[in-house]
Chains A and B, each alone.
Chain A
């Protein structure tokens, strides 16, 4: 959609009042830019601060033009003798990627049975999936904690994998259902009349049409898993702690640590920013559970 934004129609004859209208348009464009920059300002400032020395980061008034350094990043990665973020980053990667893969494995067949060859009352099933997403995480937190404690699964990354899979499964089923529903039934039937078997139909007809949607679904599931804090905070500790849990270590920090906390926040947000921009066009559909296209 951004590609079409540049197209500006030039009217052959300027109607009266066109000049004031053009000025109004320019004004609103400037306003939009100002709003965009204002919303981005905290992130830009975080990025700039992460490249400042700690002494330059903690000044009032702020030093915009201080010398740039990578010390904040070196500190974050454990150069100053602090805890290394690598275990947390690896835990987050494992939890997010594995749970996303599991979500796809479970959601794809389910979405198939809700769109291409739908079961009876398939809309009811679809809404059951959605309703589980509306159950708040705290609703089952305590029993899950007690279960994990008794089963010896506390501080185990695989417990998070299972929970993140259940957290994202309803969204994935909804998104995937809407993507698979776009595959024309007539084409599938024609292929089957020609003798194509199910695996061929899936690989040759369904996959190419649904692939961009499946990719976007995966990216959104990845983002939600990477961001999750409550389960990770309660159910993990030193071994299986994820990146957000690592960040909570900065909550009560004192002294000179601004550059380090900015570097940490930026590095840990980077995968989400990348995934979010990659899925930008399908982001709304995923976040609105497929209701808005």
Chain B
């Protein structure tokens, strides 16, 4: 048995099992068959609608005036890129994503470093820290909007009034920051979990050796931990970006897209759901996709490098 399994796993795995059709082509299809339902389902439900979006984005089409539908070429894209509201939503999307990802990444790193050492009740603290990520996003946004940010009886102003601080109307005075704060609260645990997994995969002998050689904590962090964490940081940043670029729940709940907080997904929703501009909404949707593809290309590269490392292990 051991003699047979020495060639690479992939070829041993492909050898015929009992009850296999003898024909090579048939056998190949029998191997592929379990894959097909999932593949076909996914292509029909996700890829076809996107192709339809691409087509609709080339039409001037308001669903309130269905008879006036006509081919418009790239005019919708010109309109999306020149419309000040839509252009500002592109900017808002970038600002929101970058801020939330960077801040939660830094906070997540600090928390992961704190949790990567032994102390009493570490399991409990880890559980407490994960909890914000496990609140339904709409519920989390409602919690921040009504229970924390409310200018009259919210917790923040309540605590501020103890120390005689100011009583700001958080959402009206700093709308984008308010949305960002609630998202950072939810996404920091996500970053922490990924970075903690990264920290636990460090080479502890190497760190011990460096310590014996007299390296300071900071030197170990700077020259050993950080380089090791680089790909986990990249992964966290990219996955976070993919989710936050698409964020709809927080913007919809906290500000309903008002006060300059409308990001692209919210704008797409509003353009076709309320303004019934199908062509314009599709063009904006395609722009979100282009943005995501740029991030996703990098994300896929990082995932695949981690993946190949796992496979070759």
- Which residues of chain A have a CB within 8 Å of any CB of chain B? 1-3, 5-8, 25-26, 28-29, 31-33, 35-37, 39-40, 42-43, 45-46, 49, 57-62, 106-107, 109-110, 112-114, 116-120, 123, 125, 127-132, 134-147, 162-163, 165-166, 169-170, 173, 178, 185-186, 189-190, 192-193, 195, 197-198, 223, 226-227, 229-230, 233-234, 243-244, 247-248, 250-251, 253, 257-258, 261-262, 264-266, 268-269, 272-273, 276-277, 280, 283-284, 287-293
Interface of A is mostly: helix
Contacting A at CB under 8 A, from B21-38, are 28, 31-35, 37-38
Could you tell me if A129 and B42 are in contact, using CB atoms closer than 8 angstroms? yes
Known: A193-B1, A230-B248, A230-B269. 18 other contacts (CB 8 A): A31-B114, A36-B124, A39-B185, A42-B143, A42-B147, A43-B135, A59-B153, A106-B37, A109-B33, A109-B37, A134-B242, A165-B45, A186-B1, A229-B249, A268-B139, A276-B133, A288-B303, A291-B303
Q: Which of B69-77, B78-86, B158-166, B202-210 contacts A (4 or more CB under 8 A)?
A: B158-166
Alpha-carbon distance A284/B139, docked complex (angstroms): 22
B137 within 8 Å of A (CB atoms): yes
Interface of B is mostly: helix
Q: Hey, which chain B residues are within 8 Å of A189, CB to CB?
A: 1, 4-5, 12
Does B215 belong to the interface (CB within 8 Å)? Answer: no
Interface residues on B, range: 35 or more
In the complex, which residues of chain B have a beta carbon less than 8 angstroms from the beta carbon of A134? 242, 292-293, 295-296, 299-300
CB pair B194 A288 closer than 8 Å: yes
The answer, among B12, B41, B128, for a CB contact under 8 Å with A39, is B128
Q: Which residue of A lies closest to B161 (CB)?
A: A61
Find residues 258-286 in chain B having any chain A CB closer than 8 Å to their own CB: 264-265, 268-269, 272-273, 278, 281-282, 285-286
Interface segment, one of B115-123, B172-180, B218-226: B115-123
Knowing A25-B117, A136-B289, A166-B41 touch, does A292 contact B194 (C-beta < 8 A)? yes
Q: How far is the CA of A25 from the CA of B120 in the complex (A)?
A: 11
A contact residues around B124 at 8 Å (CB)? 36
- In angstroms, Cα B114 to Cα A107, docked, is 37
Task: Specify the chain A residue showing the minimal Cβ separation from B43.
Answer: A132
- Given contacts A45-B147, A189-B1, A138 and B19 within 8 Å (CB-CB): no
By the criterion CB–CB under 8 Å, are A117 and B239 in contact? no
Whether the Cβ atoms of A197 and B189 lie closer than 8 Å is no
Residues of A within 8 A of B2 (CB): 186
